[in-house]
Amino acid sequence: MKRLVLAEGKSADTHYGKTMRGILRYAPETVVAILDSERAGETHEGFPVVGSVDDALSFDPDTATVGVATQGGRFPPAWIDILRSCIAKGLHVENGLHVFLSDDPELAELARRHGVELRDLRKPPPDLSTATGANLEVPAQIVLTVGSDCAIGKMTVSCELDAEARRRGLKSLLVPTGQTGMAIAGWGIAVDAVVSDFLAGAAEQLVIEGHERGGELLWVEGQGAILHPLYSGVTVGLLHGSVPHLYVLCHEAGRINMEVDEAKPYPIPPLRELIDLYEAIALPQRPAKVGAVALNTRELSEEDARAAIAATEAETGLPTDDPVRFGAAKLVDAVLARL
């Protein structure tokens, strides 16, 4: 795959650009250019930024991937023109937003005419149902990332810990539950797009498939946060359907409020309270503890980052590290010791 990552107006955005960042970091071999007219001519992490689809053609992309997640997952109207251009230039379009391109009659007809596919990553598979309990029979160790907020690094941490475990020769596998993880790993279900009643059933199906794909150590990408006012239902349904043996709690150093609405602060509770709540809500059939804390320190100097990690270890009593910045060895050690 040779991807043009669509990130119009948001390629530098640390919140809404998380799909793009995940692809650049964990599947960079698939990317040829980034589209963002506000930064045309620049480079971003070594990739050329172009201002239009026409300008991207010299990099010979075959697929345009929507790299930006908007709140609620709908398409801003301005994007439709960009998508039309991509299709008209013969690019497949890969889309992780809630609105399905394949449901748009005009885009679908345009795609048909130009012989390209509209791949809606969030379109749930048609055979979903409620959970059956087969999740508890999966002969694998299951580790779920949980968070103090959305967009705090749960997918990143799952990818980093999986990569480290694979480097150690373990039969380790990422279980993708969102559009970015799916774009990286090439399979998965976007659980937040599933009908609520089938949420745990979808999560169950994912851990079963993860084991069928050869995983004996499954890193399930968490979603949302248990006290997030918008997405907690997804968090808990995924938690109960994926039946983890252990959690890794993801937090960002210094983040005080959840990123919901600047006008209405939703404070993040103390980490110990969060840990207690995640542990209390584990199914009695599959008790799970938090085994380690992954601390996102991207906003801090290295010295401050090390101090923040030490402070979080003292606060939680749990091994803590920033696996992106300092490597995933310490957290993988902690997880393996507790499984």
Q: What residues are paired with 64 via a beta bridge?
A: 4, 93
Between 273 and 304, whose beta carbon lies closer to a second copy? 273
Contact flag: residue 244 with a second copy (CB under 8 A): no
90 or 229, CB closer to a second copy? 229
Q: Given candidates 3, 18, 98, 245, which one binds a second copy under the rule CB under 8 A?
A: 98
CA-to-CA distance for 176 and 45, rounded, in angstroms? 24
Look up tokens 């995924």; give the residue: 238
Residues 6+ apart with CB under 8 A from 6: 35, 64, 65, 66, 67, 68, 79, 82, 83, 86
Indicate which single residue of 29, 41, 46, 72 sits in contact with a second copy (rule: CB under 8 A).
72
* 88, 260, 307, 336: which one binds a second copy (CB under 8 A): 260
Residue whose C-alpha is closest to residue 332's, from 178, 97, 103, 169: 169
Q: How far apart are CA 159 and CA 133, in angstroms?
A: 27
Residues ≥6 apart with Cβ < 8 Å to 116:
87, 90, 91, 92, 93
Separation between Cα atoms, residue 171 and residue 162, nearest integer Å? 9
Per-residue b/e over 76-104, b at no fewer than 16 CB within 10 Å? eeebeebbebbbebebbbbbbbbebbeeb
One character per residue 8-47, x = contact with a second copy (rule: CB under 8 A) = ----------------------------------------
Among 16, 100, 187, 231, binds a second copy (CB under 8 A): 231
If the CB atoms of residues 199 and 305 are measured against a second copy, the closer one turns out to be 199
Only segment of 67-75, 82-90, 168-176, 208-216 that touches a second copy (CB under 8 A): 67-75
Q: Work out how close the CB of 208 gets to a second copy at its nearest, in angstroms, rounded to a whole number.
A: 15
Residue type, 127: D
Give yes or no for residue 197 binding a second copy (CB under 8 A): yes
Figure out which of the listed residues 229, 254, 287, 327 binds a second copy, where binding follows CB under 8 A.
229
**DSSP state, residue 81:** H
Query: Of the two residues 10 and 240, which places its CB atom closer to a second copy in the complex?
Result: 240
176 binds a second copy, rule: CB under 8 A: no
Considering only residues 133-152, where is the footprint of a second copy by CB under 8 A?
133, 136
Residues that bind a second copy (CB under 8 A): 71-74, 98, 129-133, 136, 191-201, 226-241, 260-261, 264, 266-267, 269, 273, 276-277, 280-281, 283-285
